[in-house]
Chains A and B, each alone.
Chain A
């Protein structure tokens, strides 16, 4: 199965509400179904959407999961053939599970009880 490198913008243990204000990301390499090595947390020097886009390109990420993202950055990443699932709310670990199970969509709301509501 195709390898997928996933980047999740995080704040504490949740998906960060805003892409441009993110100061920490979680990068996970998967074989499509499960992580192939230990997830990496990267602390960013400061919040910057442009810097984060550069990091995403440099890391060769193919799926970005985030909260709110501005259209310009969204389109830039899509143009770079990166899938972006935005407006996601919930704990990063559960979001990751859903993403690997191919069950995560834009606007998904996950709670600790594993109860998801999708608009």
Chain B
């Protein structure tokens, strides 16, 4: 059977090839004048390809931004595909939202002869996004609370730029979802979104995973590996758990951010990349810088733009919204007719603190939907640790003392002990909460330490030790 090579394709029918493509396509010369266009492009603009040959594509395409200007007056080097979003006024006098892809064209001698501009109509996608129930739902992120609304309003602004973004927030708050939502809103949406967990791999493997390697770079490197930076070319790379990135790789990452190029492992050839970097962490990078475990220069380089996701306990009425959402989701997946929670189960869930945030809430609902045989989920269908945690008075909000210091309860926090009559302002630390509980219990029992220990569910010696530690004597 005859092997076909490139020369067999050299003289084939260009108009037919272009007409077979699913987007509007126009070929332009080095001056931005139209050489030929396919039928979809003709349908967008209302002009026949033959009629507009030799005319500047900007007059025919009627695009904003001006494609010709972008190609010839910006820093576009013409080496890679340029992706832009904008609109055109189409033949029906309608403003249609478009995604433009500009690729350089060279002849067989390597001389640049012009550009190919592909035009994809994304009006329907934009319209669907606009009409989505509750403008606050962005790519799977739910939330009506002011803090979440602030973040969601910020998404289009974060998507419009290529600047490095640091997403912070406790575990389970949705850092990955936010990064992905920003990618999908950006002009890079049609290129890959790649997520790499910096804490999941040992240093050598992580370097190879991120930057790739060439064959023979180390024992077992049997073939070239492109690495995530190269795979994300044109798109977004999300490095989660960036706080776990080893110091040696921090240097390499800093170089990539500065120069947009790097050497894959074992290679002497530099690789250039056009990737937007988003990083995420639940660790305090500033503190890590102080401790010497995170490079200060990299911290400032990553922290150009910052988005902080609030923990669920600071999101007001978002918990019921999320509960409802996940019940519908899992009930639908399992084909169950579950309509919601009984009032008792709702009360238990409302008083639970969700240290694991939305991820924990989702897992609780998944468990409950699996276990529940009825139409409404009751307290007995909830995981037992919730019943245990909520059977004693909840840590928030209790009685009559305000501790107005920043609060930080994370998943490492011990479960809420039986508490005295103390009220805690949002933002209290666990230490402050515990101090308040001890004081509340002592006030309730008239200063009797044995009764206070009983009230708190501790031994007398534990209470005595904590009183001493907190200086409450």
Q: Nearest chain A CB to B414's CB is how many angstroms away?
A: 60
Total chain B interface residues with beta-carbon distance under 8 A: 23
Instruction: Determine whether the beta carbon of B47 is less than 8 Å from that of A21.
Output: no
Chain B, residues 64-101, CB within 8 Å of chain A (1/0): the string is 10100000000000000000000011111111000000
Inter-chain contacts of B60 with A (CB < 8 A):
17, 89
CB-based contact A87/B58 at 8 Å: no
Supposing A18-B64, A67-B62, A109-B55 touch, asked if A119 and B48 sit within 8 A by C-beta, the answer is yes
B94 to chain A, nearest CB (A): 6
Cα-based distance from A119 to B89 in the complex (angstroms): 18
Contacts of B58 in A (CB 8 A): 17
Q: Within 8 Å CB of B90, what residues of A?
A: 68
Residue B52 CB within 8 A of the other chain: yes
Asked if A109 and B51 sit within 8 Å, CB to CB, the answer is yes
**Are A21 and B52 closer than 8 Å at their CB atoms?**
no
In the bound complex, CA of A71 to CA of B95 (Å): 9
B470 CB within 8 Å of chain A: no
Q: Which A8-47 residues have C-beta < 8 A from chain B? A: 14-15, 17-21
User: Does A107 sit within 8 A of B, measured CB to CB?
Assistant: yes
Interface SS of B by simple majority: loop
Distance between Cα atoms of A3 and B59 in the complex (Å): 30
Instruction: Please tell me if the beta carbons of B59 and A89 are within 8 angstroms of each other in the complex.
Output: yes
Given A17-B58, A87-B46, is A68 in contact with B52 using a C-beta cutoff of 8 Å?
Answer: no
Closest partner residue, chain A, to B54 (CB atom) = A111
Q: Which residues of A approach B to under 8 Å, CB–CB?
A: 14-15, 17-21, 67-71, 74, 86-87, 89, 107, 109, 111, 117, 119
8 shortest interchain CB distances as A-B pairs: A68-B89, A68-B62, A71-B93, A17-B62, A89-B59, A117-B51, A17-B59, A18-B62
Binding site for A on B (CB under 8 A): 46-48, 51-52, 54-55, 58-64, 66, 88-95
For the complex with contacts A17-B59, A69-B89, A107-B46, 10 further pairs of A-B residues with Cβ separation under 8 Å are A15-B59, A17-B58, A17-B60, A18-B64, A68-B88, A68-B89, A70-B93, A74-B93, A87-B46, A109-B51
24 A-B residue contacts at CB 8 Å? Answer: A14-B59, A15-B59, A17-B58, A17-B63, A17-B66, A18-B64, A21-B64, A67-B89, A68-B62, A68-B89, A68-B93, A69-B89, A69-B93, A70-B89, A71-B93, A71-B94, A74-B93, A89-B47, A89-B52, A89-B60, A107-B47, A109-B51, A117-B51, A119-B51
